[in-house]
Structure 1
């Protein structure tokens, strides 16, 4: 499931014009997706069916708001900013708004300071930008509060 999330988010890297104010990138609002009205099959629970297999499948709760959805919004901020040759991942990770609480899913889209720090540490150790981004935000997103417990089903 984490690979699917990573693939979806990396595909979403669209060039978006950003303004610069006082030398700092000003991130645009993320596009709003009307999840409940996507043309996907719906279950009685209201969940959307993304993938159906004989042994199960993948569903999406369009009303969900938890650590994983907040991590998705955080990584969206970075990927929508990133534009090879114009804006680096380093610049974009540094430019995203930092979360103010330990419950980012209750805030406007943001990234915990710990994630920017983890990314910077990976870069300082010689990891390439995309590798550091993938490691920090997808493979071991321990910088994001609540994600590990959700991934481990706790």
Structure 2
């Protein structure tokens, strides 16, 4: 089945946002089993959904990612979970620079870069752009780039080649 780029993007965003919604009851908790109700009354969107939408908005409209993230954080409040304390301070201070985070927030919101990039180099540039405004520690950047790479390869039905060396 051939889909248009806009349909493909819409389906991709549904997948990213549904993943956050389904996983939201376990935000900050570890799941200890593999049987759970996929949609329950405890499901709600989190800050990860808001930031993923903000990144998509920034890339689609050629807006500064930091500006987009700050605007979306002011416009929409998460139903579950919440922003980390340092990230919250950054969101509320428009002049703040990247704060050296090595956390997973960059990887959590990077998926639109993988979907909107035409080539691996384009994906890498987009992933770096939307991550470096906060997660400028090399571990944070590498995590976001690895996540974007995995998504881009899946999107393009690429083969993963693993080596034991």
Same fold (TM over 0.5): no
Larger strand proportion, structure 1 or 2?
Answer: 1
Q: TM-score range by the shorter chain?
A: 0.3 to 0.5
Q: TM-score, normalised by structure 2?
A: 0.33
Larger helix proportion, structure 1 or 2?
Answer: 2
Q: TM-score, normalised by structure 1?
A: 0.34
